[in-house]
A and B are shown apart, each in its own frame.
Chain A
Amino acid sequence: MHNKTVLITDDENEMREELSGVLKDEGYKVFEAADGQAAMKVLKKHKIDVMLLDLKMPVMTGFEVLEELKKNRIKVKTIVLTGSILGSTLPDAKDISYTEKIRILKFADLVMNKPFDVVKLLGKIGQLAVEQ
């Protein structure tokens, strides 16, 4: 058994549940957050090894989270899980430019497209958790 922690940040309940199920089976201690702000709270309270991060979220987007992490020098491994990285899919005014997105995405340790290969994802999480 290990005591590595993973934070799942996704506004989709089903996604959090299914991911949580997979990770718990693998022995991770799992935290969940439905938006960026909630995730930031979790990060302040708990020591998180790996954070799984969706980009399109209400209240605080994944990009904003990445910037906050960088700004506050919060040390956590991040894997971005997204349906679309660059697509102009954010309906509100918060959408930012292409280059800005690329700049911010570079703060993440890994970007994976949904739907993703679960085994591959677990491998990456394990790897990053050890590095953390």
Chain B
Amino acid sequence: MSDEITAGPDMEQFVPAQDVVYEIDLESSIISWSRGARELYGWKEADALGKRAYELFKTEFHLKMYDFIAETVKNYIWTGELSQFKRDGTEIVVSSHAILHRDDGGRPIGIIFVNTDITQLRKTTEALKRSEETFSVTINSIGDGVLATDMRGCITILNPVARELTGWTQEDAFGKPVEKIFKLINHNSRKPVIIPIMETLVKGTVGGLANNTVLISKDGSERDIADSCAPIKNRKGRVIGAVLVFRDVTERMRKDMALEKTRLELAATRISEDAAREYAESPIDTIREPLIALDQDLRVVSVSRSFYEFFKVKPEDTVGRLIYSPGSKQWNIPGLREFLEKILNEQTSFDNYEIEYDFKGVGRRIMLLNARQIQMAAGKERIILLAIEDITQRRKAEHILTKFNRTLRAISNTNQALIHEENEKAYLNNVCRIIVRDCGMKMAWVAFAAAGGKQNLLPVAQAGYGKGYLKWDSIKNVEHPAERAIKYGKTVICGDLGVEPGFAPWREEALKHSYVSMIALPLKSKNSTFGALVICSETIESYPDEEVKLLEKLAYDMSYGITLIRVRNEKTAVAHEVNKIAAFPKLDPNPISEIDSAGKIHYANPSFRRIFTGTVTDALSHPWFEGIGAIFRRLEHGRKKIIKRDIKVNGRYYMQTMVYMPADGTIRTYGIDITKKMNAGNEIRKLYRQMEVKVQQRTTEMLASRHLADIGTLAATVAHELRNPLGVINLASYNIRKNVRDSNVLKHLTNIDRKVAESGQIINNLLVYSRMKIPQFELSNVHGIITESMDNVSKQFGSKKIKLKGMIGPVKNTDIWSDPMQLKEVLTNILTNAYQAMDGKRGTITVKACLINGKRIRISVNDTGIGIKKEDMSNMFKPFFTRKIKGTGLGLAICRDIINMHNGTIDIVSKPGKGSTFTVTLPLRSIRA
């Protein structure tokens, strides 16, 4: 039969009533039900026992019940929240700790639930969460940067815009002082600007920044911002923080400037228009676009004013010349002549013919040509009207926009890739693929900085390249753009690899693969640049700032992704490790626990829970944690400390190791069951005690025999030897008496008989002293001993003159280790003495008893008798000393010896003529048996 713990009574014992504890068996039937459970769920024990838990609680849980049981059997413990129904139908949420209950053989026999009703808590939390969510949704949706601080001015919230503008993430910024995140300088003086948050926090006022404030973000970039600051107040109106709303006005300022420019331009336009009116005879001139009229020979007939302005040519150099004439140079565009001639021949027109050409004085431009053949009114003569539209900027914008969109898509896809990818290399390859695909790039590759060796770069991922390209050794004194990006942590742009001066060593190979331009973006972790993302395009790229920023964002996201994957992997590894390590305490057969000073158990391994069933709450009062409160008080705010002690819990001994963890403010305890060892130790101690007792008894015996050696042995021998002859004398007298009738002889015989009887009495007294035994110690009520002695003596004397008073209440419930017979003998002797001291006169004998320090008892007997003369005092306890005519003088000697053998003392205080007080003091435990 295994020593099964019957959960019911045990629980009642350990768990205060309010704790909700019940146990189910492996079939989910409730097998125990605490008072707390009754109070929470409303079911009585009789209602609950035997029912299936899921039936009782009307939970959906039953579907998973067997899985749950299996899991708990495997892991020993399960913690979570359960939604349950009470008897009255109300739904509650409980925080539940389920603990596997096993018998001594380790066989699972049930699962003990320790639940806490957290319905109210949950409601509050949810309400709080809702309001927080509303708040955060609001904040996140604001197009402006929003940051919030607590009372100390430390960041609590950064919305996405604020994150973008400051360059900080919510995670990194949280808890940091606002000045650190939000660095402001004056636009003009470049001196630091004080953030108005402190004033807001102190005064609760709404504030705003001075104009011309520049925010320096984490990466050092600057933005003109405008902001305002307002306090956050709680319901009671107390300021609990501040919120700062700011926006990037760089664009606005730029716009303002652009607006100004536009306004100026408009003004200028108006002026030119005014001037144009002067040339009103030519309709062509009114046309804004450069316009050119050609005759059939493709000779310039007329040119609009805007043409001159645009191409910065003079009429005398233009009109009358062939458009493609080498002299003009301007229009010597291959293919143009063919097109124009085609129009002439076919009498058609063409729309939107796009040419890109490096115009002298204007630069490389993309032009959109629209041509019309016009039949002049005069008849046969035809003119080609050529409208030229400069779409360079538009194309550029379109190109950039396309690239933007592509890059944005790439960023989005990169971030998408991160969500799914767990493998770093796969992620990097994926991102490279995304860049090539989405951004329309020729190739993208990622290199990590390699420490030492022939290579500075270690290509790790790539997409879209011809095989073998990425094999190279570092070249002395020349840094690859990627190396530079890593070295300086800045983006390196090579718009045209064909001419890039520093790219010579790689040029041939790059151009062979049609890599025409290159951008190398640093990949940064928190503290360092660890690699570069290199993107190659097959066209010459200009990389405007905005695009570079986007690409940098992409690189940033990529870096983040790498970091995240690493952290994730690391976390997984750590989690794995933690699980592995955590399994050890789980398997440890000895109890392990962690508790804080409030008595909350932070951790308890299965052994702990198995050994100390039901100690999940109110742990401080559990014997295992006895005295831990004092230990906490002693160690609090101190260093890590290890304390060892032996402790007895539930009848077993443990060597308890306590480790105080200052960081957590907890104490971890580890116990090793040393019951067997202790029992052995106790056995030894017990034997030792027994030996001690024996030694003491022996000593007492020796003491006693020394006294007996004085007179006892002699007396006993004499007494016994005398008894026999006395007996014979007695018999002889009897025999004589039978045969004698002489009254004289009979009188003598009577004398003999009397003296034989008297001798017998003397012998009796001698024998009491000589027979004095070693006290037979036993635990008995001292009150009873005193009362009995008083009764005996008062009966014996039966005197109405003498009043016997007892004041022994204080020892009513006191037990004493003593030989009760001997104690009675002592008290009887003292009381007899007291009665005799009254000398037949009226008086009072008072018996008092009290405890001294709870360890000793003092009994005093006071009489109002004759008292003791000074010269007699020193002889009082000597054997055979007597002041009475009749008496052996052994009474008090016996008393003294008995008291000595009880490790006590006996004293007399007396005033002749007034009375005496005998005081006996005895330890309650003279010898521990």
Binding site for B on A (CB under 8 A): 12, 14-15, 18-19, 21-22, 25, 56, 81, 83-84, 86-89, 113-116, 118
A-B residue pairs in contact (CB < 8 Å), sample of 11: A15-B728, A18-B735, A21-B731, A21-B735, A84-B771, A87-B770, A89-B720, A114-B724, A115-B729, A115-B757, A116-B727
**Interface contact B730-A116, CB-CB below 8 Å:** yes
The chain A residue sitting closest to B771, CB to CB, is A87
Central interface residue in B717, B721, B734, by most chain A CB within 10 Å: B734
Contact across chains for B767 and A118 when beta carbons are under 8 A apart: no
Query: In whole Å, how far is B726's beta carbon from the nearest beta carbon of chain A?
Result: 4
> Within the complex, what minimum Cβ distance (angstroms) separates B503 from chain A?
116
Choose from B716, B728, B729, B730 the contact partner of A87 (Cβ within 8 Å). B716
Shortest Cβ-Cβ A-B pairs, 9 listed: A18-B731, A83-B723, A114-B727, A115-B727, A83-B720, A14-B728, A115-B730, A115-B726, A114-B723
Partner of B771, one of A81, A86, A114: A86
Q: Is the CB of B730 within 8 A of A89?
A: no
B254 at the interface (CB under 8 A from A): no
Cβ–Cβ < 8 Å partners of B719 in chain A: 83-84
> With A87-B767, A114-B726 in contact, do A22 and B720 touch (Cβ < 8 Å)?
no
Least CB distance, B738 to chain A, in whole angstroms: 6
Given A87-B771, A118-B734, is A15 in contact with B716 using a C-beta cutoff of 8 Å? Answer: no
- Residue B927 at the A interface, CB < 8 A? no
B732 CB–A CB distance under 8 Å: yes
Task: List 20 other contacts, CB 8 Å, given A21-B735, A88-B716, A115-B756.
Answer: A14-B728, A15-B728, A18-B732, A18-B735, A25-B735, A25-B738, A83-B721, A83-B722, A83-B724, A83-B727, A84-B771, A87-B767, A87-B770, A89-B720, A114-B723, A114-B726, A115-B727, A115-B730, A115-B760, A118-B730
Given contacts A83-B723, A114-B723, A114-B724, contact A15 B767 (CB under 8 A): no
Residues of B contacting A113 in the complex (Cβ-Cβ under 8 angstroms): 723
Q: Which residues of B contact A81 (CB under 8 A)?
A: 727
Query: A-contacting residues of B (Cβ < 8 Å)?
Result: 716-717, 719-732, 734-735, 738, 756-757, 760, 767, 770-771
Residues of A within 8 Å of B760, CB to CB, are 115
Closest A-chain residue to B729, C-beta based? A115
Question: Closest CB-CB distance, A87 to chain B, in whole Å?
Answer: 5
> Please, how many angstroms separate the alpha-carbon atoms of A18 and B728 in the complex?
7
Q: How many A-B residue pairs have CB under 8 A?
A: 65
Residues in chain B near residue A84, CB distance under 8 A: 716, 719-720, 723, 767, 771
Q: Are B767 and A19 in contact (CB under 8 A)?
A: no
Q: How far is the CA of A87 from the CA of B766 in the complex (A)?
A: 12
- Are the CB atoms of B723 and A15 closer together than 8 Å? no
**Closest CB of chain B to A55's CB: distance in Å?**
10
Contact of B717 among A15, A18, A89 (CB under 8 A): A89
- A15 with B727: in contact, given A25-B738, A87-B767 (CB under 8 Å)? yes
Instruction: Give the shortest distance, in Å, between A97 (CB) and chain B (any CB).
Output: 12
B723 touches A115 (CB 8 A): yes
Query: Chain A residue with minimal CB distance to B713?
Result: A88
Q: Tell me the complex Cα distance, A14–B731, Å.
A: 9
CA distance A56 to B767 in the complex (A): 17
Contacts of B721 in A (CB 8 A): 83
Q: Which residue of A lies closest to B764 (CB)?
A: A113
Residue of B nearest to A15 (CB): B728
Contact of A15 among B720, B724, B738 (CB under 8 A): B724
Interchain CA distance A76-B347 in the complex, whole Å: 170
Cβ-defined contact, A19 with B731, below 8 A: yes
When distances are taken between beta carbons in the complex, the residues of chain A under 8 Å from B771 are 84, 86-87
With CB as the reference atom, state the residue of chain B lying closest to A81: B727
Are B731 and A22 interface neighbours, CB within 8 A? yes
Chain B residue at smallest Cβ distance from A89: B720
Q: Which residues of B contact A87 (CB under 8 A)?
A: 716, 720, 767, 770-771
Q: Complex formed: what's the CA distance from A46 to B469 in Å?
A: 137
Residues of the B chain whose Cβ atoms lie less than 8 Å from the Cβ of A116: 727, 730
- Which residues on B sit within 8 Å (CB–CB) of A25? 735, 738
CB-CB < 8 A to B726: which residues of A? 114-115
In Å, the complex CA distance between A125 and B731 comes to 15
- Which residue of A is nearest B737, CB measured? A118
Query: Which A residues are CB-close (under 8 A) to B734?
Result: 18, 22, 118
Q: How far is the CA of A107 from the CA of B727 in the complex (A)?
A: 24
Q: How far is the CA of A56 from the CA of B760 in the complex (A)?
A: 19
Q: Which residues of B contact A118 (CB under 8 A)?
A: 730-731, 734
**A125 CA to B926 CA in the complex, in Å?**
47
Q: Which residue of B lies closest to A83 (CB)?
A: B723
Task: Report how far A21 CA is from B736 CA in the complex, Å.
Answer: 10
Chain B residues closer than 8 Å to A22, beta-carbon distance: 731, 734-735
User: Shortest CB–CB separation between residue B434 and chain A, in angstroms?
Assistant: 103
Min CB distance, B504 to chain A, in Å? 119
A22 to B767, CA, bound (A): 28
Q: Nearest Cβ in chain B — how far from A70, in angstroms? A: 25
Q: For the complex, give the distance between the alpha carbons of A9 and B757 in Å.
A: 24
- Give Cα distance in the complex from A25 to B717, angstroms: 33
Identity of the chain A residue whose Cβ is nearest the Cβ of B757 in the assembled complex: A115
Is B716 in contact with A89, judged by CB distance below 8 angstroms?
A: yes
Q: How far is the CA of A19 from the CA of B731 in the complex (A)?
A: 7
State how many angstroms separate the Cβ of B255 from the closest Cβ of chain A: 119
Which residues on the A side are within 8 Å of B770 (C-beta)? 87
Chain B residue with Cβ nearest A84: B720
CB distance from B236 to the nearest CB of A (A): 86
B residues in contact with A86, CB < 8 Å: 771
Residues of chain B with a CB closer than 8 A to A21's CB: 731, 735
Taking the closest CB of chain A, its distance from the CB of B763, in whole angstroms, is 8
Tell me the nearest residue of chain A to B763, going by C-beta.
Answer: A83
